[in-house]
Amino acid sequence: DIQMTQSPSTLSASVGDRVTITCRASQSVNSWLAWYQQKPGNAPKLLIYQASSLESGVPSRFSGSVSGTEFTLTISSLQPQDFATYYCQQYSYYPLTFGGGTKVEIK
- Residues engaged in binding other proteins (CB under 8 A): 32, 34, 36, 38, 43-46, 49-50, 55, 87, 89, 91-101
Q: Least separation, in Å, of the C-beta of 75 and other proteins?
A: 19
Nearer Cβ to other proteins, position 17 or 46?
46
Whether residue 91 contacts residue 4, with contact meaning beta carbons closer than 8 Å, is answered with no
- The SS3 assignment for 81 reads helix
HSE-up of 15 (CA within 13 Å, CB side)? 3
Nearer Cβ to other proteins, position 17 or 103?
103
